[in-house]
Structure formats: structure tokens, C-alpha cells
Structure 1
Amino acid sequence: MPRAAKEKTAVAKKEKKIKDPNAPKKPLGAYMWFCKDVRESVKKENPGLSVTEIGKRLGELWKEVSEEDKKKYLKQAEEDKERYNKESAAYNKEKNKEKEKAAEEEGENDDDDDDE
């Protein structure tokens, strides 16, 4: 039995969440630290590679890295994670203070309406 053409249905797109520019940047993983270290040398050694091919080459190199050398990048990733956790805690604390202040101000404004 032949398949009928699928009807096109409107799919609701999610609204993109606006990022706060003051929010702390997410921590990088060990592989990403490795890529930051090695990417330029891979580009110089292979000037004709596309971005995709460079990514593949970086993946191959990562697989070849010894466990001893990976420890360096794992340590960087752990330190970056700690940095993120500290910054995130401070950021969220400040954000909560702002929300409480806004709620208090709104509460004060609501009381004014009852006098009419």
C-alpha cells in the first residue's frame, strides 16, 4: 500500500531563552581544554583542513593522548568547574536579592491600591 504524503503540521517553536550577559560562563571539559591547546598547531600543520576535518583530527589526537597527559586537562576542567560553581553561587545569590527587592517593591505598590 503506497504511503500518503504527510500533511504538514504547524509545530510550535520554543521561544529562545534570552541569556543574561552577566551570567557565569559554563565550565569547559577536559577535551575542550585539550582542543584549545592543540587547535592552532593542528591548523598550522594542516592548512587546507576544513573546520570539520580539524575537529576530527583533534578527536583522533585526543584518543592518542596518554592518561598521564590527560590528567593535566582533567585538572584544568576540575578547576574550571570549581570556578563556575563559585561564580554561579554568587550570581544566583545576587539574582535572588534582586527578585526579593522587586517583590517587596511590588508588595508596597499593591498596598497603595487598597486605599482608593
Structure 2
Amino acid sequence: MTTVKKPARATRTRDTGPRKVSGYMLFAQNMRARVRGDHPTATFSEISRLLGELWRRLPDADKNRYEALAKQDYEKRLAAYKA
């Protein structure tokens, strides 16, 4: 029986700039401490599930605000990267 080696994974050689962050990720960053305070014994996956439920129940106007903040944040980091 012979074993076949997988080729080594290529490392990133180019600089791709800042990654985009979604509105949900900004929401989760803002709300995680509050959810952990409300549910101190919850596991990471339970907290993530709770954050997802809160996001789904969030009104569209608030979601759009987080999406706009995410876009502004990305544009600011991209400008700093290009400078």
C-alpha cells in the first residue's frame, strides 16, 4: 500500500489589503458583552446563536445602519492601507 502525499498548501505571497466586515459582525461585536452578561454560563456557540436570533429580529432600519457603518469602516481602512 502506497501513500500519496498532498501538495503543501501555498502561503499567501501577495498583500490583499483589508477584509470587509459585515454589518452583522459589527452588531455582534457591539452586542457580545451584553449577551454574555445576560447569559454568563452560555457557551460560545450558544452566544453566537443568541446573537444570530437578535440580528434576525432587528428592524431593517437598524440593520441598514450597521451595514452603512461596515461600509464606512472598510472605506476608512482601505484608504489607510493605500496611503
Q: TM-score, length-normalised on structure 1? A: 0.58
- Structure 2 CA distance for aligned equivalents of residues 66 and 79 of structure 1: 20
Q: Work out the percentage of aligned pairs sharing the same amino acid.
A: 24
1:71 Cα deviation from its structure 2 partner: 1.9
- The residue aligned with 1:15 is 9
4+ residue runs of structure 1 moved beyond 4 angstroms?
A: none
Greater RCO between the two (CA within 8 Å, min separation 6)? 2
Pairs aligned (count): 83
- Structure 2 CA distance for aligned equivalents of residues 61 and 85 of structure 1: 29
- Structure 2 CA distance for aligned equivalents of residues 40 and 30 of structure 1: 17
List aligned pairs for 1:58-69, cutoff 5 A.
58-69=51-62
- The residue aligned with 1:4 is none
List aligned pairs for 1:99-110, cutoff 5 A.
none
List aligned pairs for 1:24-39, cutoff 5 A.
24-39=17-32
Structure 1 residue identity aligned to 2:63: K
Asked if 1:57 corresponds to 2:50, the answer is yes
Asked if 1:81 corresponds to 2:74, the answer is yes
Is the radius of gyration larger for structure 1 or structure 2? Answer: 1
